[in-house]
Chain A
Amino acid sequence: MSRMPLPADRLVQPRLVGYDPTHPRPWLERIAYTLFFSALWVMVILAYGAVPALFRHYGWLSTTAGFLIYAAVEAVLAFLLAAVVALILIVVLRKYLGKVQERVGPMHYGPAGVFQTVFDALKLLGKEDFAPKRVDWLIFRLAPAIVFVSAFLLMVALPVAGGWVMADLNVGLLYIVAVSTLGAYGVVLGGLSQGNKWGLLGGFRAGAQLVSYEVPLALALLSVGVYSGSLRLSDVVEHQYGLWHVVPLFLSFLVYLVASIAELKATPFDLPEAESELVAGYNTEYSGMSFAFFFLAEFVELFLLPGFMVVLFFGGWHGPLFGLEPGSFAAGVLQSLYFLVKVAVWVWIFLWIRATLPRFRDDQLMDLAWKGLLPLALVGLLVAAFLRMFLEVL
């Protein structure tokens, strides 16, 4: 695109770090992206690898007090990780949408606008958390918490490297289905409790959409479980040595892809908060930090759903180890990098879809879920079962 020369009187006043629109600095953005990614990587290493390794090394986990301290530290770290993910993804989303739309995106706060989300969050913190008179107060306050906690709890089961997982549940796949469904309650209750007709419609739409898409999502997860023979996520990843699940379970992968975009309430499926139809949908009356928690949850899910996609279909942390011993700390660091790179690619694809497509209509959404995805997921399950039988015969 050719850059339009700006007259001198239209120059924007620089803030914090001087920004001069006549001298764009693309290298600054590249450095910023690299720093973002490194910060995320460090947080993941801390939360999933370093702190558990530290506690295990000194044997503190054997005592009750030690375990409690460990759990508390992990919870704080997971929360920090969620916050970092959201802060980074929001500014990445805005920068990326800017790129797609031939503009520059945020650029005033910090070099190349990297601190934009920090200031947004500060603004939301400083705002009055206002509740209108006609809301059902308890549910109105509870709903953002439910939404955020359900997204946050998913983080526990995410295996980022060999042995690096907060809780290696033997029912990991079921846990994903159970906890992510919990988020639907928050959205529906938030929409219904606020005494606003747009919120009510948004809540109804959200309820219908999230519940409908849970079914194909669960079936896709089930086919992975059937094929790999375990519900434990680390076993699922181990099972993919040699061949990633995306090849044999391609149908289930497609179902998971579409259903997870629907679970994210992102653009082709953003009906619950369709701003041109329902003003803001289920979060119409939310302000301040209550609104921020809905927002935070959305972006944590934007990290976690591609994350689980990578775990289930793209070999999780698999990648060349260059002679490092699997299970060692150094190998874990490298594997978590592989995992994060794969997730970043999928997050990018999700953002790309968000930037391109218009929105479906509610009945088409339901049609797609029940007439399109559900049969496809069942076929995918069938394929998985046959392949499993075939493998066992061999």
Chain B
Amino acid sequence: MRGPTTVEPVPGRTDELIINMGPQHPATHGVLKVVIGVEGERITRAVPHIGFLHRNHEKIEEARTYPQIITYTDRMDYVSGLQNELPFILAVEDLLGVEVPPRAKLIRTIFFELFRIASHLVWLGTGMLDLGAITPFLYTFRDREMILEITEKTAGARMLPNYFTFGGVRRDVHPDFFKDVAHFLDFFETRLPDYYALVLDSPVFQARAVGVGVLSRERAIARGASGPVIRASGVAYDVRKAEPYDAYPELEFEVPTRPEGDVFARFWVRFKEMEESVKIIRQALEKTPKTGPYKGKVPPRVKPKPGARYRAVEISRGHLGTYVVSDGSERPLRVKHRSPSFANLQLIPDLFVGARFADAIAILSSLDPVFGEVDR
């Protein structure tokens, strides 16, 4: 039952070693399995296998009503849990024709960007752990804890809060929310120089990252890469700019890009994104009224009119799209999640072959896959 590109030993060839990297390998960020052939330390072939975390969300979601589905979408990219709810909600809002009050949009945007910082912090910690540095991992997880506590205060849960809903958010923010977020931003800005010193400015890191795993602009577009991966290849494709949603049209921010397309560029882009997120949250905090409506008028039974809608948002890993097909009943006919890590992982054969084994680890951590999302 093996397909044509599964890695088999070449008869008579003794200098190539076939290794199963994963699904229990410590650096595969969960359950990726890559069958690689190595010649010494150089990778000759690489075939990724996914699906070890497959739950078939999409089938389960067909059997649930619309409000019930929101909580399943959280479980895709569990590192940036809250962000996953948004494309589904936007698509259903479009089908319902619901108006979202501006304050709710701003609150959503603040949470969206907070989770981007949280997710990039997890990426930074685990990515540096893959490169052999233990300490950033502990630092970043401590910072992320503050974001999770802010979320817990308002939404009641930490990682998978199920907070957004059709027409706005589920409940108003905690009275401390604005103070807490401002405090976190001040604190986080004092920590960023440390991360620059430990990671981007470290000569050992630069030796590992510069010129490694180069992805060309054309290949990135053709492979459907998104998020920091495509922006590190010089394409300023950001869904927040390309098809703005929520409060993004009113906020000013830049899309950091870098033309090199190597591991260093991907790290650099994510660092700059964290800085941009801080800027966005600061603007949004200023614009958000302290009190006001947090949810628009939504019919008590969510029954969108028949039709289909594809909405995309820019989550931490890139372009997350949700395609909702409604047949007019309480349950969707089909919900398709287009996850960024799924598309980005297609780059593995492109980037791995010809790299050294240690580079493969760096490349994988720069792609930053989350397997809840890849396997859904």
The answer to whether any beta carbons of A and B sit under 8 Å apart in the complex is: yes
**A100 — nearest CB in chain B belongs to which residue?**
B135
Among the stretches B1-9, B102-110, B201-209, B306-314, the one at the interface with A is B201-209
Contact B198–A197 (Cβ < 8 Å)? no
B39 at the interface (CB under 8 A from A): no
Among the stretches A26-34, A122-130, A142-150, A263-271, the one at the interface with B is A263-271
Contact A276–B135 (Cβ < 8 Å)? no
Contact A361–B26 (Cβ < 8 Å)? no
Contact B205–A358 (Cβ < 8 Å)? yes
Residues of A in contact (CB 8 Å), total 30
Binary flags per residue of B193-236, CB closer than 8 Å to A gives 1, else 0: 00000100010110110000000000000000000000000000
Given contacts A101-B139, A279-B25, contact A358 B204 (CB under 8 A): yes
Contact A358–B202 (Cβ < 8 Å)? yes
Binary flags per residue of B1-29, CB closer than 8 Å to A gives 1, else 0: 00000000000000001010000011100
Given contacts A358-B205, A363-B356, A364-B207, contact A101 B19 (CB under 8 A): no
Contact A359–B356 (Cβ < 8 Å)? no
Q: Which residues of A contact B358 (CB under 8 A)?
A: 271, 274, 277, 359, 361-362
Contact A197–B17 (Cβ < 8 Å)? yes
CA distance A355 to B130 in the complex (A): 14
Most A C-beta atoms less than 10 A away, residue of B27, B41, B207? B41
Contact A270–B132 (Cβ < 8 Å)? yes
CA distance A172 to B190 in the complex (A): 51
A275 at the interface (CB under 8 A from B): yes
**B145 — nearest CB in chain A belongs to which residue?**
A4
A119 at the interface (CB under 8 A from B): no
**A270 — nearest CB in chain B belongs to which residue?**
B132
CA distance A357 to B358 in the complex (A): 16
CA distance A54 to B129 in the complex (A): 51
**A356 — nearest CB in chain B belongs to which residue?**
B135
Contact A201–B204 (Cβ < 8 Å)? no
Q: Which residues of A contact B138 (CB under 8 A)?
A: 101-103
Contact B19–A360 (Cβ < 8 Å)? no
Binary flags per residue of A351-386, CB closer than 8 Å to B gives 1, else 0: 000011111111110000000000000000000000
Given contacts A102-B139, A356-B135, A357-B133, contact A277 B27 (CB under 8 A): yes
Residues of B in contact (CB 8 Å), total 30
Q: Which residues of A contact B361 (CB under 8 A)?
A: 276-277
Most B C-beta atoms less than 10 A away, residue of A97, A268, A277? A277
Among the listed B142, B145, B202, B356, which residue makes an inter-chain contact with A361, where contact means beta carbons less than 8 Å apart? B356
Nearest Cβ on chain A to B363's Cβ, whole angstroms: 12
**A1 — nearest CB in chain B belongs to which residue?**
B142
Contact A361–B208 (Cβ < 8 Å)? yes
Among the listed B130, B208, B357, which residue makes an inter-chain contact with A201, where contact means beta carbons less than 8 Å apart? B357
B359 at the interface (CB under 8 A from A): yes
Binary flags per residue of B156-176, CB closer than 8 Å to A gives 1, else 0: 000000000000000000000
Contact A276–B27 (Cβ < 8 Å)? yes
Q: Which residues of B contact A361 (CB under 8 A)?
A: 207-208, 356, 358-359
Contact B132–A276 (Cβ < 8 Å)? yes
CA distance A274 to B130 in the complex (A): 9
Contact A277–B208 (Cβ < 8 Å)? no
Given contacts A277-B361, A362-B41, contact A268 B204 (CB under 8 A): yes
B134 at the interface (CB under 8 A from A): yes
**A103 — nearest CB in chain B belongs to which residue?**
B138
Among the listed A97, A103, A275, which residue makes an inter-chain contact with B26, where contact means beta carbons less than 8 Å apart? A275
Q: Which residues of B contact A1 (CB under 8 A)?
A: 142
Binary flags per residue of B312-337, CB closer than 8 Å to A gives 1, else 0: 00000000000000000000000000
Q: Which residues of B contact A200 (CB under 8 A)?
A: 17
Contact A355–B134 (Cβ < 8 Å)? yes
Nearest Cβ on chain A to B141's Cβ, whole angstroms: 10
Given contacts A270-B132, A271-B358, A279-B25, contact A102 B204 (CB under 8 A): no
CA distance A200 to B357 in the complex (A): 14
User: What would 10 more interface pairs be, CB under 8 Å, given A198-B19, A279-B26, A361-B358?
Assistant: A1-B142, A101-B138, A102-B142, A201-B357, A268-B204, A356-B133, A358-B131, A358-B204, A361-B207, A364-B207
Please, could you name 19 A-B residue pairs with CB atoms under 8 Å apart, sorted by A? A4-B145, A100-B135, A101-B138, A101-B139, A102-B138, A102-B139, A198-B19, A201-B38, A276-B27, A276-B131, A357-B132, A358-B131, A359-B133, A360-B204, A360-B207, A361-B208, A361-B358, A362-B357, A363-B41
Interface residues of B (CB under 8 A from A): 17, 19, 25-27, 38, 41, 128-135, 138-139, 142, 145, 198, 202, 204-205, 207-208, 356-359, 361
Interface residues of A (CB under 8 A from B): 1, 4, 97, 100-103, 197-198, 200-201, 267-268, 270-271, 274-277, 279, 355-364
